[in-house]
Amino acid sequence: MKKILAIALVALISLSFVFAQGGSETTTTVVSESGFNTSEVLTFVIPGSTGGGTDLAIRTMGEGLQRLFGLKINYQQMKNTIGHTTVMNAAPDGNTIMLATAALLTQYVTGNSEVNPLEDLTLVACLDDNGYSVLAVPVDAPYNTFAEFVEYAKANPGKINAGMPAAGSNTFLFGKLESVLGIELNHVECASESDRLTNIAGGFIDIGVVGLGNAQSYEKAGKLKVIGTVAGDGITIADSGVDLGDNYKTLQEQGYDDCYVLCMHYIYGPKGMNEEQVEKLNASFKTIIEDATVNEGLRKIGHIPLWHDLEESKKIQMEEYETTVETAKFLGLYAL
């Protein structure tokens, strides 16, 4: 009997030790005040193509993470939906994160992905604005300003060919403009920026969205006209840090207050992350964004470096999500 009691006592002590050490699956080991587990390799998922804006932004931030926090980083590049799913299914220990763009939202509300950004992931931080979407038109277009474009579009409903992906961020940008301005455009499949530049220069489409750098180059070569830019709420063209003409002013600056598009970059981790760790990670990304080298690097690729605490990040995320749903319904693309 004494032997049996002794064995039972040992088992009880051992079990108590396991619980004292945090046997729960949700326990996160954080060996740094930064929130990162510096003894592990950080997997930074890149849900986008090589050389694209997301890829360049992640590697710019990653350089800061390595330099400032001594992290070792494993970059994993994959298609959007695969990248989102990979992070969703990862362990919630803070060792796997990603930088996601509007594609995460648009793919979910259009039924092209099952990853719900509000429920299947942990929001760590809302960071830099994706920058300026330049509205470019052919050099011989019958409108030279955005105001003239709106007037022409209202007089010719459905006759302006707007080049865009079938269901991408530019599709939602034009959908927002159509909804707000009360105009109707003819959506023409033109997914890549290089295709849009070629078709604008050749006069095969009447308007398209291009990047700030390409817009300046093609404008200087006399291959297109710029009639405005679209950016986040309250952002001006002066925020780009580049001296540009009045034709590059944002639509809000041109008097169209509701013509803006939230297109932020968000840091996400898997669902179920430790709240204290998330707070620390959020603060660490503030350090990253405010670092001079990272800040300059993001501006060079056309982004606008920003940082928001968790409360503000969640508000911005929800506003962008609700706007995406509203635009998807307007475009007939809503699938939830």
**Which residues sit opposite 162 in a β-bridge?**
187, 207
Pairing verdict, β 264-270 and 96-100 = antiparallel
Q: Which residues of 137-174 are buried (b: 16+ CB within 10 A; e: fewer)?
A: bbeebebeebeebbebbeeeeeebbbbbbebbbbbbbb
Q: Which residues does 221 contact at the CB level (< 8 Å), separation at least 6?
A: none
pLDDT(5) > 70: no
Burial call 51-90: b when 16+ CB within 10 Å, e when fewer: ebbbbbbbbbbbbbbeeebebebeebbbebbebbbbbbeb
Cα-trace Rg, the chain = 24
**Distance from the Cα of residue 286 to its chain's centroid:** 17
Q: What is the pLDDT of residue 167?
A: 83
pLDDT of residue 14: 41
Quick one: pLDDT at residue 10?
Answer: 39
How high is the mean pLDDT of the chain? 90
The strand order across the sheet containing 72-78 reads: 72-78, 41-47, 96-100, 264-270, 121-129
316/322 Cα distance (integer angstroms) = 10
pLDDT-based confidence at residue 51 (cuts at 50, 70, 90): confident
- Tens of pLDDT, residue by residue over 76-102, are 999 989 999 999 999 999 999 999 998
What is the predicted pLDDT for the residue at 130? 87
pLDDT of residue 29: 52
| Higher-pLDDT residue of 278, 191 | 278
Instruction: Give the span between the Cα atoms of 74 and 44, in whole angstroms.
Output: 6
Pairing mode of beta strands 133-137, 207-210: antiparallel
Closest-CA residue to 103 (of 34, 159, 54) = 54
Q: Where are the alpha helices (DSSP H) in the chain?
A: 2-20, 53-69, 80-88, 102-109, 146-155, 169-181, 193-201, 212-220, 275-290, 292-300, 310-331
Give pTM, 2 decimals: 0.84
- Is-contact 229 250, C-beta < 8 A? yes
